[in-house]
Amino acid sequence: MIADPFRLDGKRAAVTGGGSGIGQAIAHTFAARGAAVHILDVNENAAEQAVRDIGRNGRATAHRCDVTDGAEVERVFGEILQEGEIDILVNNAGVAHVGSLEQTSPDDLDRLYRVNVKGVYHCMRACIASMKAHGGGVILNMASVAASVGIADRFAYSMSKGAVLAMTYSAARDYAPHNIRVVSISPARVHTPFVDGFLRANYPGREQEMFAKLAATQPIGRMGTPQEIADLALYLCSDQASFATGTDYPLDGGFLRLNT
């Protein structure tokens, strides 16, 4: 029996979108469990604040990185790899969009594709050769329940997360012989700053009412928390999950299976 499971001692992890929300929780959790964490975020101030928050509780470094820019991704990951291998890549950076097909402009679709799809591609591509060369690694992609079921007014977002799911399965198949595990997490609604901002912008004066309605769409009766996603991420990226690859893990309060 392992006395202290789910440790990441000696591991180096890169977390995109690590300056806020789910990514921040993952970065904090990984650092607290022994990993040296590289926090990548398009908002450099947020990344640096996340590093300060981790403080003496772990090791973390901030990097400004726009995942839509392939050259910038290659440069940032190249700098990280000069210091040592990346054992864990968490592709968490992403953006949302609310709207049906008719309410989704070509620019909206392109923006979701650039961040949510091409951003994941850029980061996986920047790491994969190094992981192969040093004998393995773990790639964790953040998908969504929207990748698996129809959700009203989420046309572009569902498209992008469906692509993340397909990339996860494909890469897991291709790189299993190289001891590289590729998995994804599909959260339902999680209470992040994005949710609060969305409610303020779209339902001024009705924030609490609409929050309750969104929370009730999960059969469990509430939204998830960033820490709950981070705890699953910790397991999936630890050695205790060494048999897990090519699988999506819904963490959804019963959304996928219990809603009728």
- Enclosing H/E stretch for 200: helix 193-202
CB-based contact 47:219 (threshold 8 Å): no
Query: Out of 113, 157, 203, 235, which one is annotated catalytic?
Result: 157
Residue 10: Cβ-neighbour burial (10 angstroms; 0-12, 13-18, 19+) = exposed
Residue count (the chain): 260
d(C-alpha 252, C-alpha 229), whole Å:
10
Q: Which residues pair with 250 in a beta bridge?
A: 186
Q: Which two tokens stand for residue 159?
A: 């498209």
Instruction: Collapse the DSSP code of 66 into the 3-class scheme (helix H, G, I; strand E, B; otherwise coil) and give the result.
Output: coil
> Helix-strand-coil percent breakdown of the chain, rounded to 5?
50, 15, 30
Cα gap 253→104, rounded to integer Å? 28
CA distance 176 to 229: 24
CA distance 15 to 202: 30
Query: 175 an active-site residue?
Result: no
Angle (nearest 5°) at CA 100 between 96 and 104: 65
Q: Which helix (H) or strand (E) holds 202?
A: helix 193-202
The answer to whether residues 77 and 129 touch, using CB atoms and an 8 Å cutoff, is no
Instruction: Give catalytic residue positions.
Output: 157
